[in-house]
Structure 1
Amino acid sequence: MTLNRRSILKAGAAAAALPLLGSRAFAQGEPLKVGFIYVGTINDNGYNYAHNQGRLYLEEKLGDAVETTYVENVPEGPDCERVLRELAQQGNKLIFATSFGFGDSVIKVAQQFPDVKFEHATGYMKADNVGLYNARFYEGRAVCGTIAGHLSKTGKAGYIGSFPIPEVVMGINSFVLAARKVNPDFTIRPVYISTWNDPAKEADTARAMIDQGIDVIAQHTDGPAALQVAQERGIVGGFGQGADMSEFAPETQLTSIIDHWGPHYAASAQAVIDGTWTAGDTWEGLKEDVVQIGPYGPKVTDEVKAAAEAVRTGQIDGSFHIFTGPIKDNTGVERVPAGQTMTDAELLSMDWYVEGVEQPA
């Protein structure tokens, strides 16, 4: 596959223009101005909400040492370049671009503002003043899959995906590998809806899956609509994505994957203030507390909690890795030999499904 995270997101509403101000260098004793751009709304209760919570964490930790600005609903494309340039012209000396499709614009604008530090979430292109950061979402999927394997009565789950990109494929595979360690006959049905946040599409897909016999729903989209349908229909449950969504499905959310970006944002800003910032490339997970597991729901028994916690803590202490072989793909071909663990490079280019994944239509 050549597609990457959020690279094919359909353009949404254009972000409001920011006033153009003269660029000025960051001086000791004045607040460091930090800008954020989001591809969606901070009220999506998922991915963009989590990034904005990270911005608020940064403000809380560094206080008067920083001054933050954010722009939401920035489409991936020319408008992104404009917003990035205006943030730099406003005097922001550290700018976080939080969606993959912002990458080309980040590199272009960074060349025009060499004294500004840029960090790009889930991207791959670096420069002297452009760093990368990412989260090991798949580690959280392994915990969720463990719960699903224990609680599903049908042994059939549905997975509402955005786009068939490595990050999403990796999550599907992690989920079903974990579930099949509990129930070797467990299967999962991915359905891609070609968007990151469309509540009506997510709800309709969830209803169709339930009608076809699944009783657990996972998702890699940004809103709680699928969980709400799961609660309405009374199935076993589902999982929050990006944030705790239990308020939308208090009986049905089994747990959630929470993206905890705040410590990274605070550390990067402090490094700029201290003059120690470098163009890093981080991919952190449960161990670093960038990925968190939310509270377990009322349907998760003590026995299942213990199993989920074993998977969570095993990934933290390094004793467990969900992508350790033997692993076959869904055509029966061995992809990972026994005892071998997939490399990060292999994971980040994953374009095949493991055993138990039904081929998407």
Structure 2
Amino acid sequence: MTVLTRRQLLAGGASLLVLASLPGFAFAQEKKETVKAAFVYVGPVGDFGYSFAHDQGRKFLEEKLGDKVETSFVENVAEGPDAERVIRQLAQDGNDIIFTTSFGFMQPTAKVAKQFPNVKFEHATGFTTGPNMGIYNSRFHEGRAVLGTIAAMMSKTGKGGYVASFPIPEVVMGINAFTLAARKINPKFETQVVWVNSWYDPAKEADAAKALMDQGADVITQHTDSPGPLQAAEQRGAIAFGQAWDMQSFAPNAHMTAIVDHWGPHYVTSVQAVLDGTWKPGDVWGGMKEDFVEMSPFNPKMPEDVKAAAQKMVDETKAGTFQIFTGPINDQSGAEKIPAGTVIPDADLLKMDWYVEGVKS
């Protein structure tokens, strides 16, 4: 495994870029003895959240495929022009497949993929595909619903605080799933959202959690990647949930459970397909049933009836008998948005830009 700095990545020449742009430089498939796979992370691998989970997936890939795969990663890549430069350099450096793991990497990945038709690209959490660009995602909202159930059963104030990154569909979906599940337990439950406009900013995230608790929230959840909100909850005696990985070590009393992202099996499947010469630009969206999402161990401090209710939701989600986005669902104004018995289609979930009743944003 090689760790590359952005300075090293941006220092390369442009000869491969010119070659990749020539007419007739077509996407080809052939079996390979070894594969070079690169990963682009929006945060540090030490965030113990989203980027950390992807890097655990990379390590899982190395463990399973051994000397058949050589991996590298670039961390702390800003979404936008910097991402495009990094992705292009990784393509120039001879990587066979490049995984770009943040929503804001979508357009840069699509642009570079067109310039390097012989390189395979996979983008996480987006929707743009191409002849050599696939997408993969996790049904995070299934886990958010479990968190909402726990929150409503354990909250004394009926108010949850949600530290959110950016108002993209993935995040909106999670806020809505959390709130819908909570209101099935307590119809008056409210979710107050604070946007920090960052995926990883420990101080800003902690300040947001403190502000939410000052407003009466006694449950803190997050769609940001540092343990900051958890640590703030621990200090205040609130309960909280980790993001993307088990964060209990940072808040042993506050941390009730966390959504754990399992990316490793997908990475193994994709790289094995490159080795076999059978890779195709897929559209993968896995959840609990596919082992893309699981809940970390419940805190022993959690009451038994809460554990049972949370586990029941996990079991029914895996079995396919429960889907949180099933009507009737009212929007933020209280008007019916989804009729009774109707399940919101995946295509609509992936462009969700509205909030359910009970969300205060």
User: TM-score, length-normalised on structure 1?
Assistant: 0.92
2:191 to 188, 192, 198: 188
Contact in 1 for aligned 2:146/2:313 (Cα 8 Å): yes
- The AA in structure 2 aligned to 1:227 is L
Aligned residue number for residue 357 of structure 1: 359
Contact in 2 for aligned 1:133/1:281 (Cα 8 Å): yes
1:40 aligns with 2:43: yes
Larger mean Cα displacement after TM superposition, 52-61 or 71-80: 71-80
Query: Identity rate of aligned residues, in percent?
Result: 58
Contact in 2 for aligned 1:252/1:299 (Cα 8 Å): no
1:127 to 114, 121, 130: 130
Aligned residue number for residue 94 of structure 1: 97
Larger mean Cα displacement after TM superposition, 45-54 or 24-33: 24-33
Aligned residue number for residue 121 of structure 2: 118
How many angstroms does 1:27 deviate by? 7.6
User: Residues of 2 paired with 1:78 and 1:197: CA distance?
Assistant: 19
2:215 to 212, 215, 230: 212
User: Residues of 2 paired with 1:26 and 1:43: CA distance?
Assistant: 36
Aligned residue number for residue 202 of structure 1: 205
- The AA in structure 2 aligned to 1:107 is A
How many angstroms does 1:17 deviate by? 2.4
Contact in 2 for aligned 1:15/1:73 (Cα 8 Å): no
Larger mean Cα displacement after TM superposition, 299-308 or 48-57: 299-308
Larger mean Cα displacement after TM superposition, 161-170 or 331-340: 161-170
User: Residues of 2 paired with 1:304 and 1:239: CA distance?
Assistant: 14
The 1:99/1:29 distance shift into structure 2, 3 A limit, reads closer
Contact in 2 for aligned 1:26/1:32 (Cα 8 Å): no
Larger mean Cα displacement after TM superposition, 125-134 or 76-85: 76-85
1:51 aligns with 2:54: yes
Aligned residue number for residue 7 of structure 2: 16
1:63 aligns with 2:66: yes
How many angstroms does 1:29 deviate by? 6.0
SS in 2 for 1:242: coil
1:156 aligns with 2:159: yes
Aligned residue number for residue 238 of structure 1: 240
Aligned residue number for residue 276 of structure 2: 274
Write 1 or 2 for the structure with the bigger share of helix: 2
- Uncovered stretches (5+) of structure 1, i.e. residues with no partner: 1-13
SS in 2 for 1:276: coil
1:107 to 107, 110, 113: 110
User: Residues of 1 paired with 2:124 and 2:281: CA distance?
Assistant: 13
How many angstroms does 1:28 deviate by? 5.2
- The AA in structure 1 aligned to 2:196 is I
1:167 to 163, 166, 170: 170
Aligned residue number for residue 341 of structure 1: 343
Post-superposition Cα deviations, 1:90-131, rounded to whole Å, max 9, x if no partner, equal 221011011122122212221222111100111221111000
SS in 2 for 1:222: coil
CA RMSD across the alignment: 1.8
Aligned residue number for residue 10 of structure 1: none
Contact in 2 for aligned 1:147/1:304 (Cα 8 Å): yes
User: Residues of 1 paired with 2:8 and 2:105: CA distance?
Assistant: 17
The 1:338/1:213 distance shift into structure 2, 3 A limit, reads same
- The AA in structure 1 aligned to 2:319 is D
The 1:330/1:78 distance shift into structure 2, 3 A limit, reads closer
SS in 2 for 1:205: helix
User: Residues of 2 paired with 1:27 and 1:351: CA distance?
Assistant: 42
Aligned residue number for residue 303 of structure 1: 305
Contact in 1 for aligned 2:29/2:278 (Cα 8 Å): no
How many angstroms does 1:198 deviate by? 1.1
- The AA in structure 2 aligned to 1:61 is K
Contact in 2 for aligned 1:57/1:262 (Cα 8 Å): yes
Aligned residue number for residue 225 of structure 2: 222
The 1:27/1:318 distance shift into structure 2, 3 A limit, reads closer
Contact in 2 for aligned 1:94/1:116 (Cα 8 Å): yes
How many angstroms does 1:31 deviate by? 2.0
Post-superposition Cα deviations, 1:275-331, rounded to whole Å, max 9, x if no partner, equal 111000111111111111111013212211110011111111110000101111121
- The AA in structure 2 aligned to 1:213 is G
How many angstroms does 1:208 deviate by? 1.4
User: Residues of 1 paired with 2:33 and 2:213: CA distance?
Assistant: 56
Aligned residue number for residue 146 of structure 1: 149
How many angstroms does 1:62 deviate by? 0.6
How many angstroms does 1:270 deviate by? 0.3
User: Residues of 2 paired with 1:26 and 1:276: CA distance?
Assistant: 7
How many angstroms does 1:212 deviate by? 1.6
- The AA in structure 2 aligned to 1:305 is K
Contact in 2 for aligned 1:17/1:83 (Cα 8 Å): no
- The AA in structure 2 aligned to 1:322 is I
The 1:219/1:73 distance shift into structure 2, 3 A limit, reads same
User: Residues of 2 paired with 1:269 and 1:30: CA distance?
Assistant: 12
- Uncovered stretches (5+) of structure 2, i.e. residues with no partner: 20-27
Task: Tell me the matched-pair count.
Answer: 345
User: Residues of 1 paired with 2:309 and 2:7: CA distance?
Assistant: 47
